[in-house]
Structure 1
Amino acid sequence: MVPLFRFVRLPGALALLTLAACSGEQAAPANDSAAARPADGSIPLTADNIARLGLKFGAAVAATEAPIAVVPALIAPPPNARVAVAATFPGVVTRILVVEGEEVRRGQPLAIVSSRDVLSMGADLNRASARLGVAQSSASRLSQLEREGIIAGARADEARAVLGEARADVSEKSRILTMVNGSGASGTYMLTAPIAGRVTSAAIHAGSVVDGTTAPYMIDAAGQYEAQAQLPERLAGQVKPGMTVALGDDLRGTVTTVGSTIDPATRSVTLKARLPAGPGAMAGRATSLSIFGPAPTGAAMVPAAAVTTLPGGDVLFVRTRAGVVARPVKAGGKDGDHVLILSGVKPGEQVVVAGTSALKPLAMGE
């Protein structure tokens, strides 16, 4: 009689089994999975199998935070981080040095303004300096005469008082010109950036008229942003100041305030969060903000690539002494490229983080 054979696929090798070898006997059906799989359902793996399948392992990490919700938000500068650059004296803009959208450093020139007031102040400073020179000479001469007893001390005191007034006058006019970066000789002064940041508004052009009541430039401080969002009523009691928020995968900030009054139209409260500078942080941008709260006890974080789906639901391939076992898990929300695992795996356990697609057929007995 012709013997009947059947090939059964085992990890890394093929086993040849004799199913029937005698006349008139019918081959008994064989359960391949049972023959190849230990009783605990694990998949035996050797070092050679692991290398051939391209498997990589990583430890599940204890989770400290868990995603609560994702809400729409608007990025804005904090109230104390926006500075208006005012035109100190009326005049005409002669030159623009910085345009809207540019990054500036503190003290950087923004524009040059020609002003009649600055020209007049320059002339006043020259006259005050001349009077100061005369007052210094007079005070020195009268002080000498006082020491020699030629004149009364009152005359010398009067001269010294005039000298003090002249010095104060020169000092004040010099201080004002220095403060506005003005040049009395040319009659111009310079608008400069009071802080480092980004120019968010530049309502100015060459030839435009400015005065002391206008603010030609608005500058937002570098590295400081505020996210403003509407938090649904159901989350109003869960989210508290100090919790973490995330913009994208890398940029993280902190909840600063949560409103205490529910808007009857939107059934939401206002949430504000502080954000550092980074990708996606731009004043005026509408975006989505992820909110995180404390993670449940025993929860773990694993790379998103480690979680795969079998007919029964989500699983992780957890390493055992003999190989791996497909462990059903309950997944929570995502945090960037990681997934929160609420149950099914313990922090510290080794899981497959690359090559799960090669294990799925073996887990399903194919």
Structure 2
Amino acid sequence: MREPKRHYLAFTAALLLAGCGGGTDTAPAPDKTPSTPAGTVPLSNEQATKLGLKWAVAERADEAPIATLPATIAPPPNARVAVTATYPGMVKRIYVAEGDTVKAGQLLATVASTDILSHGADLARAEARLRVAGASASRLTQLAREGVIAGARADEAQAQLRQAQADVTEQRRILAMTGAAGRDGTYRLTAPIAGRVAKASVETGDRIDPMEASFVVDAASRYEIRAQLPQKFIGQIRPGMSVRVKDGVGGTVTSVGNVIDPETRAALLKASVPGAPGIVSGGTTSVTIYGPAPDGAVMVPDAAVTNLGDGDIVFVAAKGGVSTRSVRQGPTVEGRTLILSGLKPGEKVVASGTSELKALALAQ
């Protein structure tokens, strides 16, 4: 039963060596020499082009994937903030709509309120008392210096001045907390964080009550990735390690739970990633956790690694052709495979066309 297969491989190899096949956009192979070292598949530049071989350079690996897990996307803690009405009133004007992107401190709406008018009047009265107290304290202090009155009366006037100053400061603070304008009786609702307006429940002319969530703003700059980390990885993965989700968005592990769920035998892992297209709160994704790579490890395209006999190999550029190189491979993530041993950084490997080279190697 083995004899027909050997004839088939020999026939395939003969065709390949004769130059059949095709391909474009290929890198040149090593120059052919009259003699090739043992273990090398003889190959000229012309044959490499005919076979459509493509090449890649083994790159030093600083990080290595440890695990890839299904995950969910959620807003991070404090990422959703409600904007509430401080005083009852009527919405005078709205400046944003649901879905709008806002900056921290950006104006959302103005509200007319009789309470603000009252605070404005209180401030005006406190400022008037302050002016009177200031004039009185200045006059009595001068009289006390001249010995006309007792010093105690000047001290009493200074105490009344400080009280008047405190009243003015308090009234101004109350109005400043709401961005209020005491003269026209309005105050401002502003965005507490940068993000997206997820809810706008009021319209111009609506009446709002204190502590009513008129707007909700979701932070759009960061998201939290949550995944169940199997027990076997606990101890290998720790906060600070890097992660990547789909489309190459990178982030950082923020916490690894220390409680194992008795049913799933897993702990909760959390990571932080920046906002990006496709990163949507409530969606699902996969997250790959990375740790330090072993010494000497390299990364190559996953198509560069193939199986020959009982082990994994890559085809490496060699004098007169390509040589087979036994390698020990690690995980494959996003189209790239980690090579733990057998290959050095900077070596040139075949990244496309390995099937044809396998036939040539088996026919030798």
CA distance in 2, matches of 1:272, 1:311: 42
Among 98, 102, 105, the alignment partner of 2:100 is 102
Structure showing greater Rg:
1
Cα deviation digits, residues 63-118 of structure 1 (max 9, x gap): 34333332222222332444443322232333222334333222111222222211
Among 233, 236, 243, the alignment partner of 1:235 is 233
CA distance in 2, matches of 1:358, 1:117: 84
Cα deviation digits, residues 28-73 of structure 1 (max 9, x gap): xxxxxxxx99673423334555566665543312334333332222
Q: Tell me the number of residue pairs that the alignment of Structure 1 and Structure 2 aligns.
A: 339
Percent identity, aligned pairs only?
A: 54
From the superposition, tell whether residues 201 and 238 of structure 1 become closer, same or farther in structure 2 (CA, over 3 Å): farther
> What residue ranges of structure 2 are gaps of 5+ in the alignment?
1-13, 21-33
CA distance in 2, matches of 1:364, 1:199: 64
Deviation (angstroms), 1:171: 2.0
CA distance in 2, matches of 1:160, 1:353: 87
From the superposition, tell whether residues 202 and 313 of structure 1 become closer, same or farther in structure 2 (CA, over 3 Å): farther
AA aligned to 1:246 is R
Among 224, 227, 230, the alignment partner of 1:226 is 224
Please state whether the residue corresponding to 2:240 is helix, strand or coil. coil
Q: 2:245 maps to what in 1? A: 247
Please state whether the residue corresponding to 1:278 is helix, strand or coil. coil
Q: 2:29 maps to what in 1? A: none
> What residue ranges of structure 1 are gaps of 5+ in the alignment?
1-7, 15-35
From the superposition, tell whether residues 227 and 95 of structure 1 become closer, same or farther in structure 2 (CA, over 3 Å): same
1:36-115 superposed matches below 5 A = 40-47=38-45, 49-50=47-48, 55-115=53-113
AA aligned to 2:41 is I
From the superposition, tell whether residues 242 and 163 of structure 1 become closer, same or farther in structure 2 (CA, over 3 Å): closer
Deviation (angstroms), 1:122: 1.0
Contact 2:40 2:324 in 1 (8 A): yes
Contact 1:37 1:43 in 2 (8 A): no
AA aligned to 1:248 is K
Among 350, 353, 363, the alignment partner of 2:351 is 353
CA distance in 2, matches of 1:136, 1:130: 10
| TM-score of the superposed pair, with normalisation by structure 2 | 0.78
CA distance in 2, matches of 1:203, 1:286: 28
Contact 1:231 1:271 in 2 (8 A): yes
Q: 1:23 maps to what in 2? A: none
CA distance in 2, matches of 1:123, 1:219: 33
Which 10-residue stretch deviates more, 274-283 or 248-257?
274-283
Runs of 4+ in 1 over 6 A off after TM superposition: 309-313
Which 10-residue stretch deviates more, 107-116 or 236-245?
236-245
Q: 1:291 maps to what in 2? A: 289
Query: Is the aligned partner of 1:156 residue 2:187?
Result: no
CA distance in 2, matches of 1:146, 1:257: 68
Among 241, 257, 265, the alignment partner of 2:263 is 265
Please state whether the residue corresponding to 1:79 is helix, strand or coil. coil
Cα deviation digits, residues 215-246 of structure 1 (max 9, x gap): 43343445332211112334335433333321
CA distance in 2, matches of 1:151, 1:12: 122
CA distance in 1, matches of 2:19, 2:276: 52
Q: 2:215 maps to what in 1? A: 217
Among 171, 175, 195, the alignment partner of 1:177 is 175
Contact 1:249 1:337 in 2 (8 A): no
Deviation (angstroms), 1:363: 4.7
Query: Is the aligned partner of 1:165 residue 2:156?
Result: no
AA aligned to 2:61 is A
Deviation (angstroms), 1:349: 2.2
Please state whether the residue corresponding to 2:123 is helix, strand or coil. helix
CA RMSD of aligned residues (A): 3.5
From the superposition, tell whether residues 178 and 342 of structure 1 become closer, same or farther in structure 2 (CA, over 3 Å): same
CA distance in 1, matches of 2:156, 2:148: 16
Contact 2:19 2:51 in 1 (8 A): no
Deviation (angstroms), 1:354: 5.2
Deviation (angstroms), 1:343: 4.4
Which 10-residue stretch deviates more, 223-232 or 339-348?
339-348
Contact 2:237 2:291 in 1 (8 A): yes
Higher relative CO (Cα under 8 Å, sequence separation at least 6) belongs to 2
CA distance in 2, matches of 1:55, 1:163: 90
| TM-score of the superposed pair, with normalisation by structure 1 | 0.77
